[in-house]
Amino acid sequence: MTLSPDLVRIVPFEARHLPAFAVWFGALPNNAAWSEAWVRYKTLDDETYDPALMIAAEIDGEPAGFLIGNIADEKGWVRAFIVAPERRRQGLGTLLFDAVERVLRERGIAEIEVGWALPRYFLPGIDLACTPAIVFLDRRGYETTRETRVNMDVVLTGRDFDTSAAEARLREHGIEVWRARREDYDGIEALCICEGYQGWAAETAIALAMVPVPVFVACAEGRVRGFATHSLAGPVQFGPMLTAMDLRGMGVGTVLLKRCLQDWQREGIARCEIVWAGPLSFYTRTVGATVGRAFWTFHKTL
Ligand SMILES: CC(C)(COP(=O)(O)OP(=O)(O)OC[C@H]1O[C@@H](n2cnc3c(N)ncnc32)[C@H](O)[C@@H]1OP(=O)(O)O)[C@@H](O)C(=O)NCCC(=O)NCCS
């Protein structure tokens, strides 16, 4: 049954909406760790917050659906969208997308990307297990290249991620590993630019402001030559990480990765995800990671 649009009020997404969003989003596959604090960090605390594009649908004053959008790089982005489970197939998703697409058109934005957005994406794309979302986007004329991004799963319980011997070997080559400090940012940024991953510098800047800092760096001759980040993309999610091209194959990445996983082990966390995993074989070989969920992104020209 389609609801009469007169019953639905589209309003800006605000703090009072966080609990409902967290509960509904947390009920999607593999999302149980998403808390209200994480949702706030990805929405209200995001510097691209825009009340016309980050919106809620309300019925009788109660939240019934959300769409988290923004504009960046002259494109429109829909990072997440969700309707209350008991309100699905009543036209609310359609109303939310209609509202955001209208605002984008009014602002002269023609390209719209769905499922992600750097730096504060919820997930790397639409989880392929979310069939209703895939069908919904297809019906609205959104296209996908079917290029698949995958997360990998790592079991933490009972695993030995000790790095002391490997770090001693790296020290013999003049490479030191430590938990990053804010003043390491310039070095991280320089490494990202040099290796062609500039976007990761902006992501890591966010992580450097967290306490304790969820970033480890490897330095040689006073320069940052590698870094790894955790708890940035989402709860219990690892990434990004980068080792300078000329230091690859020496075990730097393995040490950085394991130092991150040790942080979670100390908190008693049982499993984690490598987000949008790069070389799958690296993660399998070093920490026994297995391929987990898969994502597509979607695009439409308005
Ligand atoms: C995807 C979602 C937002 C759609 O919201 P909705 O309010 O149910 O969507 P609408 O009622 O406007 O549906 C519009 C059209 O989409 C298609 N559609 C939506 N849900 C569908 C489903 N479960 N099965 C098949 N088609 C579906 C239909 O064509 C539908 O039109 P119809 O009902 O006339 O056939 C909702 O299913 C949801 O919240 N899913 C979980 C959240 C999610 O996976 N979000 C993506 C990751 S952030």
Render pLDDT for 238-271 as a digit per residue (tens, 0 to 9): 999 999 999 898 999 999 999 999 999 999 999 9
- Tell me what pLDDT residue 3 has: 84
pLDDT in tens, 138-154: 999 999 999 999 999 99
- Report yes or no on 288 lying in a domain: no
| Residue ID of nearest Cα to ligand 1 atom 24 | 132
192 and 83 part of one domain: no
134 and 179 part of one domain: no
Q: Does residue 185 line the site of ligand 1, with CB under 6 A?
A: no
Q: Does residue 82 line the site of ligand 1, with CB under 6 A?
A: yes
80 and 163 part of one domain: no
**Domain range enclosing 27:** 5-150+296-301
Count CA within 13 A, CB hemisphere, residue 82: 22
pLDDT in tens, 87-103: 999 999 999 999 999 99
286 C-alpha to center of ligand 1: Å? 40
202 and 121 part of one domain: no
Ligand 1 atom closest to residue 126's alpha carbon, by position in its atom list: 47
| Residue ID of nearest Cα to ligand 1 atom 5 | 93
247 and 128 part of one domain: no
Quote the CA–CA distance of 258 and 277 in Å, as a whole number.
Answer: 15
- Report yes or no on 274 lying in a domain: no
- Report yes or no on 289 lying in a domain: no
Token digits of residue 82: 């969700």
Q: How many domains does the chain have?
A: 2
- Report yes or no on 116 lying in a domain: yes
- Tell me what pLDDT residue 5 has: 82
| Cβ atoms of 269 and 236 closer than 8 Å | yes
122 and 189 part of one domain: no
For residue 195, what is the domain's CATH number?
A: 3.40.630.30
Q: Does residue 95 line the site of ligand 1, with CB under 6 A?
A: no
Quote the CA–CA distance of 133 and 239 in Å, as a whole number.
Answer: 25
Element housing 227 (H / E): strand 223-230
pTM: 0.92
264 and 131 part of one domain: no
Q: Does residue 92 line the site of ligand 1, with CB under 6 A?
A: yes
Whether 119 shows a pLDDT value over 80: the answer reads no
Ligand 1 atom closest to residue 88's alpha carbon, by position in its atom list: 8
126 C-alpha to center of ligand 1: Å? 13
Ligand 1 atom closest to residue 139's alpha carbon, by position in its atom list: 29
- Report yes or no on 280 lying in a domain: no
144 and 231 part of one domain: no
Whether 118 shows a pLDDT value over 80: the answer reads no
3-state secondary structure of 238: strand
36 and 125 part of one domain: yes
22 and 141 part of one domain: yes
What would the mean pLDDT of 59-74 be, rounded to a whole number? 96
Count CA within 13 A, CB hemisphere, residue 189: 9
263 and 131 part of one domain: no
| Residue ID of nearest Cα to ligand 1 atom 41 | 82
Ligand 1 atom closest to residue 94's alpha carbon, by position in its atom list: 12
- Tell me what pLDDT residue 199 has: 84
- Tell me what pLDDT residue 203 has: 85
- Report yes or no on 284 lying in a domain: no
- Report yes or no on 27 lying in a domain: yes
Quote the CA–CA distance of 114 and 77 in Å, as a whole number.
Answer: 6
3-state secondary structure of 191: helix
144 and 22 part of one domain: yes
What would the mean pLDDT of 153-175 be, rounded to a whole number? 97
- Tell me what pLDDT residue 47 has: 87
Q: Does residue 135 line the site of ligand 1, with CB under 6 A?
A: yes
- Tell me what pLDDT residue 283 has: 97
98 C-alpha to center of ligand 1: Å? 14
What would the mean pLDDT of 40-48 be, rounded to a whole number? 92
- Report yes or no on 174 lying in a domain: yes
What would the mean pLDDT of 163-186 be, rounded to a whole number? 96
What would the mean pLDDT of 205-224 be, rounded to a whole number? 94
Whether 221 shows a pLDDT value over 80: the answer reads yes
